[in-house]
Amino acid sequence: MQIVTLSLKEQNIVPIEADTITPDNFAGKSTDEIEAILVYYGNSQASIGELFNVSVDGSDSVENTKIIFDGNVPRVKRIGQGMSAGEIEINGNVDMHCGSNMTGGKITINGNADSWVGCEMKGGEIVVNGNGGYYVGGGYRGEACGMAGGKITINGNVRDFLGEHLCGGEIIVNGDAGLLPGISNSGGTIIIEGNTTMVASEMKAGTVVVKGNVAEMMPAFREEGTEEFHGVTFRKFTGDVNVGGKGVLLVK
């Protein structure tokens, strides 16, 4: 097991783009080697050692590498972007794009995650123990697919456009979701334990379950009786008929 612990030397105001901070990049490297890895700091580059205190315990393969962020990193973006294995634990709040495009491994955020967490991820797992921002598991502009595999669990609330363009995988929100969750999705599963509104607009395929209240239903779904999900009976809707969708929407 290799454990790499990072903590900010001082809270940064100019954002750090840390897409190089992944177990894939850190595995088997010494403190010096990790400190020399470059990140974008504003419009120029800086080494990790200039910005973070780094301590490395052990040396191991990607699968057995764990990165721990000690404290808040609210202005550090793209942590774990594209990672394929290993683990990242963030003990605080984190900035945007955390875990986007990841294909494997696990990220645990013991705080709030800003927007675009787990965007276009293909595999692996993200657990956010605080709140999520906008576009959790969504797709970047123009892309036909957002998240396509893996699992995201948000134990707090999320804001708008949860799982936008979702094509696969699973998203569980244990709190409330903002406007238009599951917009334009074409696969995958979204489970919202709390309340939301305007759910699953332009859905082509996939499943969305809302266990709380839906403030406003989109008027483009066909009601088709009831269906049981995890032992509870829900009203079943299919649509969005505007796009010839065959998605399933279960609401109370």
Partner 1 sequence: MSELLIKNAVVCDPLNNINCEKMDLSVKDGKIVESVSSAAKLIDAGGKLTMAGGFDGHTHCAGKINVGRFMSPHDMRMNPIPGLSGKVAPTATTRAQVGYNTPNTFAIGYRYSKLGYTTITEAAIPILAARHTHEEFESIPILDKLGLTLFSSNWQVMEYIRDNEPDKLAAYVAWALRSSRGYGIKIVNPGGGEAWGWAKNVSGLDDPVPNFDVTPAQILLALAEANEKLNLPHSIHIHCNNLGKPGNYETTIASMKLLENVKTSRDRQAVHVTHVQFNAYAGTGWRDFETGAPMVADYINGANHLTFDLGMAMFGPAMTMTADGPLEYANSRLLHAKWSNQDVELEEASGVVPVTYSSKNFVNAVQWAIGQELALLVKDPWKVMFTTDSPNGGTFVNYPEAYTLLMSAKKRAEIIEGLPELAIGRMALPGIDRELDLYELAIMTRAIQSKMYGMATKGNLGVGADADIAIYDINPDSIDTSVEHEAVKKAFSGTAYTIKSGEIIVKDGEIAATPEGKTYWVNATVPKATEDAMMVNLVQKFKRYYSVNMANYMVEDAYLPHPVEIKTEAI
Inter-residue contact 98 to 79 (CB < 8 Å): yes
| 44 near partner 1, rule: CB under 8 A | no
Q: Which range, of 53-61, 137-145, 166-174, 211-219, touches partner 1 by CB under 8 A?
A: 137-145
Rule CB under 8 A: say whether 142 interacts with partner 1.
Answer: yes
Q: Which is nearer to partner 1, 143 or 228 (CB)?
A: 143
Q: What's the CA gap between 232 and 252, in Å, rounded?
A: 9
Residue 141 in contact with partner 1, rule: CB under 8 A: yes
Minimal distance, residue 166 CB to partner 1, in Å: 16
The string of DSSP codes covering 176-208 is: ---BSTTTT-EEEEEEESS-BBSTTTT--EEEE
Contact positions with partner 1 (CB under 8 A) in 144-203: 144
Residue 151: helix, strand or coil by DSSP?
A: strand
Rule CB under 8 A: is residue 230 a binding residue for partner 1? no
Distance CA 29, CA 173 (A): 36
Which residue is listed with tokens 């502009």? 141
* Contact region with partner 1 (CB under 8 A), list: 62-70, 104-112, 140-148, 187-195: 140-148
Span near partner 1 by CB under 8 A; candidates 30-38, 102-110, 138-146, 175-183: 138-146
Q: How far apart are CA 178 and CA 159, in angstroms?
A: 4
Q: Minimum Å distance from CB 39 to partner 1? A: 15
Applying CB under 8 A, which of residues 60, 103, 140, 149 lies at the interface with partner 1? 140
- Residue 246 touches partner 1, criterion: CB under 8 A: no
Burial class (CB in 10 A: 0-12, 13-18, 19+), 30: exposed
User: Which residues would be at the binding site for partner 1 (CB under 8 A)?
Assistant: 140-144
